[in-house]
Structure formats: C-alpha cells, structure tokens
Structure 1
Amino acid sequence: MNSVQTSIGALMSSASGSKKLTKEEIVQGFDRLLYDQRAIAAKINELKIDQREHRMVMKVLRGCDTERTGYRLIDGVLVEGKVKDILPDLQQKEEK
C-alpha cells in the first residue's frame, strides 16, 4: 500500500468512525495528500525527461555505424558496448 492509499485510508476510517475529525486532523490529512500529489507529479516529470533523453539518444544511435563503440551509464556504472547491442536495450527500456 503506497502513501497516498494510506493517507486516504486514514482519512476515510477516521471519517467513518464514531470520532469526528478535528480541523487540525483534516488539514494534516489534506497536507499529506497534497505532498503525495506533488511527489507523484515530480516523478512523472522525471520519467518524461528520461523518456525524452532515451528517444534523443536512440535517434542519434540509429544514424551511427552499428560497430561503433558506445557507452551507457547503468546504475552508476559506465558500460562499454557496440551500438548494435546498446540500441535494442534502449528500445526495450523505452517500451517499459
């Protein structure tokens, strides 16, 4: 269960229970939801930027000799490979 579901669940269970929510609890719940919404929006933007970069790199690599040496950064490790090996990996990653 992610934090958004947890926040919503906490608000719903409090609201449906016999205890009335105080103004502070409502504001805190709203603030948690707002924080979660901003975190999700930031992650979406990060993924869009990554996707744009992958497409740009793939466009350049398609115009290169397939035997040309290229480098990729995978989890902080610089990996050497041929364009013919790198391009399919990038295409597969973009599909995910």
Structure 2
Amino acid sequence: MAGKSEAEPVNEQAVANVYGSMRAEINQIYSKITELEMEVSEHSLVINAIQPLDPSRRCYRLIGGVLVERTVKEVLPAVQRNKEGLQEVIARLNEALEKKKKEISDFEAKYKIRIRKADEMKDEGGKKEGTAQGVLVGPAGADE
C-alpha cells in the first residue's frame, strides 16, 4: 500500500505535466494562426494596392531578404498564390486545433481536471486573508 501512495503524487505530477504541455501546444497553434492571418491581411492589402495598376508598371518585391524589381503582371499572381497557400495552412492549423481541443477535453474528462476561474481564486484568497487579520504589534519597548 505504501508504494502505491508514493506513486500517486508522481502520477498526478505527470498528468499535470502532460496537461500543461497540451495547453502550451494549443497556445502555440493559436499564435501561429494569428500570425498567418496577419500575413494574409497584408497580402490582401498588397493585392488591392497593385491590382488596379498598369500590368507593365515597375514593381518591387522582397524575396528572401532581397529587393527584386519586377512588373505588376509578374508580382500579382505570385502574391495571390502566396495568399492562397497561407489560407490553406490556416485551414489545416484550424483542423489541428479542433483535434487538440477534443483531445484535451477527453484528457480533462478522463483525469477529472477542472480549471479554476479567476473569481474562485480571488474568493479563496479573500478567505485566507480574512483569517489572518486582527493583530497589530508595535515596537518591543513601546509599553515602557
């Protein structure tokens, strides 16, 4: 019996570590999706800016850190392809995010994990603070 009770805290710690890593992975996926959505937005701005221009007009594009001179006719399709590729990646990341969310909810149900809300933590903190109140001690020689 003693061996089993010693294994439980380690097991709980392992469950907490796995849960924490799953939450971190979800946060990474969220941040990557946000980053890529910003890039799609920037691509849309570029497309809207150069679409009405003359196709033979000079246009500059940054490729791998090098500024290259091209024409609008050459750059516009490339920027549109990049935007479509980014949208496909975002769609795949959203699918992966949904799978991870389901996986983490299954994990929470399996191990009966419950997340404390900020309100609950404040209530508990208030109770603890309330029990420690009431005594004010002055300097050691104040009574004399």
In which range does the TM-score fall when normalised by the shorter chain?
Answer: 0.7 to 0.9
Say whether residues 1:82 and 2:102 are aligned partners: no
Runs of 4+ off more than 4 Å: none
Structure with higher strand content: 1
Which region of structure 1 is more displaced relative to structure 2, 19-28 or 69-78? 19-28
What's 1:63 paired with? 52
TM-score, length of structure 2 as denominator length = 0.50
What's 1:48 paired with? 37
Q: How far 1:78 moved relative to its partner? A: 1.6
- How many residues are treated as equivalent by the alignment? 78
Which consecutive residues of structure 1, in runs of 5 or more, have no partner in the other structure?
Answer: 1-18
What's 1:22 paired with? 11
What's 2:132 paired with? none
Q: Secondary structure at the match of 2:62?
A: strand
Q: Secondary structure at the match of 2:55?
A: coil
TM-score, length of structure 1 as denominator length = 0.73
Identity of aligned residues (%): 32
Q: Which structure's relative contact order is higher, taking Cα pairs within 8 Å and 6+ residues apart?
A: 2
Q: Which amino acid aligns with 2:46?
A: V
Q: How far 1:45 moved relative to its partner? A: 0.5
CA RMSD of aligned residues (A): 1.7
* Bigger CA radius of gyration: 2
Which consecutive residues of structure 2, in runs of 5 or more, have no partner in the other structure?
Answer: 1-6, 86-144
